[in-house]
Structure 1
Amino acid sequence: MKVESALHILWMKLTNKEFLKFLISGGLNTLATYGIYLALIDFVDYKISYSISYVCGIVISFFLNALFVFKQKVSLRSFIKYPIVYIVQYLINLLMLFALVRIFHIPEIFVPLIVTVVTIPITFVLSRLIIRTN
């Protein structure tokens, strides 16, 4: 009974308005960064393309999350702290990217979408924590 109750509470928290806005924001950010990735992949190695699009995604994400999702004023302090979430996520994503392309032979154009979906809940919690604690 307790597990069901805890799962219900978790589900309610994840489906609140803020989380739904986070998903919309994340969807827009994913489309933008995926477009950047695809635009670059013909000119540079997929790892470099991913890295450049990832950095662009951090900046886009910060502004979307601060202004649209969490309705907070943009501050230099939170902008500087925000990438901390993504440094850890980046290393995990890069490892997953490599494994999915090299070991599991998933096409390079699909892999960034897979690794992004895997890290959504973690990113939500950490983003909210950093943006709200100016």
Structure 2
Amino acid sequence: MRSQLGQIVRFGLVGGVNTGTFFVLYLLLHPYMPYFAAYSLAFVLAMVGSFFMNTYFTYRTKPTWKKFLLFPLTNITNYVIQSVGLLLLVDWAGMNEKIAPLVAAVIAIPFTYVISRRILIPGTGPAAAADQDAADPQPPKASPASTV
């Protein structure tokens, strides 16, 4: 439990640095392209940085090509949540295009933590739970008819 709390704190720190990196990239790109294109490119660039920061600092695990290739797949959820949030905040709620990406990013944080943990730490994903169940099968429960 204490180890996971440390991971959550480190994840928050990495998230802050990554969000700042994303936001600076977004602001630098925005004058040269539409806001959503700038957002998307900044997101991809920041995601690469996020992979390495989370691998080395948050989860203290070794980066591998497999993890690197899977990491963007897990960020699809993050991207969808942030994208929908961005579009709703700008187009529906009328929020400023320069502030909306930060708000959308904050909303996506809990989802990103769970997904990145499952990819970057072996044994924490759904397959690990299935493997554990197979290794420790539960004894069959006696039915009422069999106790007579």
Pair in the same fold by TM > 0.5: yes
Q: Does 1:38 align with 2:27?
A: yes
- Post-superposition CA distance 1:65-95 (Å, at most 9, x none): 0000100011000000001111122122212
Q: 2:105 aligns with which of 110, 116, 119?
A: 116
- Runs of 5+ in structure 1 lacking a partner? 1-11
Q: Is the 8 A contact 2:61 2:121 kept in 1?
A: yes
Q: How far 1:22 sits from its partner (Å)?
A: 0.5
Q: How far 1:113 sits from its partner (Å)?
A: 0.5
Secondary structure at 2:48's aligned position in 1? helix
Q: Does 1:87 align with 2:73?
A: no
Q: Does 1:26 align with 2:15?
A: yes
Q: C-alpha distance in 1, partners of 2:58/2:110?
A: 14
Q: C-alpha distance in 2, partners of 1:88/1:119?
A: 9
- Runs of 5+ in structure 2 lacking a partner? 124-148
Q: C-alpha distance in 2, partners of 1:80/1:87?
A: 12
Q: C-alpha distance in 2, partners of 1:104/1:55?
A: 25
Q: 2:62 aligns with which of 73, 77, 81?
A: 73
Q: Does 1:105 align with 2:99?
A: no
TM-score for both structures, normalised by structure 1: 0.86
Q: How far 1:56 sits from its partner (Å)?
A: 0.8
Question: Quick one: percent identity of the two aligned structures?
Answer: 32
Q: CA RMSD of the aligned region, Å?
A: 1.8
Q: C-alpha distance in 1, partners of 2:81/2:110?
A: 14
Q: Is the 8 A contact 2:26 2:39 kept in 1?
A: yes
Q: Larger RCO: Structure 1 or Structure 2 (Cα < 8 Å, ≥ 6 residues apart)?
A: 1
